[in-house]
Amino acid sequence: MKNLSQEEWASKISLDENAVILDVRTEDEWNDGFIPGSVLNDIYKGQGFIYRLDELDKTKNYYVYCKAGGRSAQACMIMDQMGFENTYNLEGGFMNWEGAVDFPK
């Protein structure tokens, strides 16, 4: 896991053809807006969260965020233990995000 500032995170994603953006917040938080292109996998779902991680390609680069950066750091550590090669945590999380935001349709 690597902690990245907003600028580093956005810059790396824009140059990474192997990037997957993973949002580990709750569905209610997701409904308040999310980073475009992100996939929701709520870390509070426990074993359901692990099952969904098992379905992902471990060779991709995962850019993980939550509301403030704590849950996403935890998610990155879990993913690292599961054999994911590259995980990046967004420092400060979505509440400090200044980039583009999408909303559920």
Q: Which domains does the chain have, with CATH numbers?
A: 2-96 (3.40.250.10)
pTM score of the predicted model: 0.96
In tens digits, the chain (105 residues) has pLDDT values of: 999 999 999 999 999 999 999 999 999 999 999 999 999 999 999 999 999 999 999 999 999 999 999 999 999 999 999 999 999 999 999 999 999 999 998
Burial class (CB in 10 A: 0-12, 13-18, 19+), 55: exposed
C-alpha R_g of the chain: 12
Tokens found for residue 68? 């403030």
Q: Which of 21, 43, 66, 75 is catalytic?
A: 66
Instruction: Tell me, yes or no, if 66 is annotated catalytic.
Output: yes
Strands (E), 15-100: 19-23, 39-40, 61-65, 86-90
